[in-house]
Amino acid sequence: MDTFEGSYLGHDDRIDESVRLECGICWLVYDPEVGDPYWHIPPGTPFSRLPEHWTCPNCDAPRHKFMVLKD
């Protein structure tokens, strides 16, 4: 598995509930304030609480391919 600095890699306990994450494949940003309309994820849902089957709504990348954005 390729890893980059800031890679999520399934570490729910290491990220804050308000953090935004970016897909390492297509660069789509998951913002908890917005949620994910494609998968019917309501606003306010942190990345750590997304269902295990959730994938990037743009390219279908799995959760472990997301990277933490540093604001």
CATH number at residue 46: 2.20.28.10
* Contacts by 3-11, CB closer than 8 A, 24 or more apart: 4/67, 5/67, 6/67, 6/68, 6/69, 6/70, 7/64, 7/66, 7/67, 7/68, 8/47, 8/63, 8/64, 8/65, 8/66, 8/67, 8/68, 9/64, 10/63, 10/64
How many structural domains are present in the chain?
1
What pTM does this model have?
0.84
Task: For residues 54 and 21, give the distance between their C-alpha atoms in angstroms, rounded to a whole number.
Answer: 14
The residue type found at 27 is W
**Segment 25-56, tens digit of pLDDT:** 999 999 999 999 999 999 999 999 999 999 99
Its domain, for residue 66, covers 1-71
